Amino acid sequence: MFFWTIVLIVVAGLAWIRFAPSDPEVWHVDPQVTADQDLAGGVRRRIPAEDGTFEALDRIILATPRTEVLAGSVEDGKVTYITRSQWMGFPDYTTVMRNEDVLELHARLRFGQSDMGVNKQRVEGWLQMLDGQRG
């Protein structure tokens, strides 16, 4: 009986991670990026926002597997995306906001204390693809 209780708790926890609602009021917020930062649970970046940069980055991000828009749009000047891990479905949130002549990006985890560099790797990959398209 104890074994099945533990199994049920684990399965319920995994289901919560996979299906927990994502409240735009909590996650679709100003990234407040003043400088590039590598954080335990994510990353902050600032890049120049030339004409078409936001649109190109949006296409790159949406081409990422298991990624969708939580809230906002390029036209609004701020978009928050959810990217889920392949096996466990852990959600990571990335907000991109135009702030005059720069784009501010803040990618962060929802559950846990450390993302083991996953958000940094993802964002740097996006920015490399963006550089490849621009240059």
Q: Is the pLDDT of residue 100 over 80?
A: yes
35 pLDDT more than 90? yes
CB atoms within 10 A of CB 122: 20
> From the centroid of its chain, how far is CA 90?
11
Can you give the pLDDT at residue 135?
63
pLDDT of residue 106: 98
Query: Is residue 42, in this structure, part of any structural domain at all?
Result: yes
| Residue 103 domain-assigned (yes or no) | yes
Contact 102, 40 (CB under 8 A): no
CA 72 vs CA 5, 18, 79, 81: distances in Å: 41, 22, 4, 9
- The confidence score (pLDDT) of residue 93 equals 98
Residue 19 in this model has a pLDDT that exceeds 80: no
Whether this model's pTM surpasses 0.85? yes
How many structural domains does the chain have?
Answer: 1
Q: Answer with the residue of higher pLDDT: 129 or 133.
A: 129
pLDDT at 12: 83
CA angle 118, 42, 11 (to 5 degrees): 65
Q: What is the CATH number of the domain that holds 65?
A: 3.30.310
Q: Is residue 7 part of a domain?
A: no
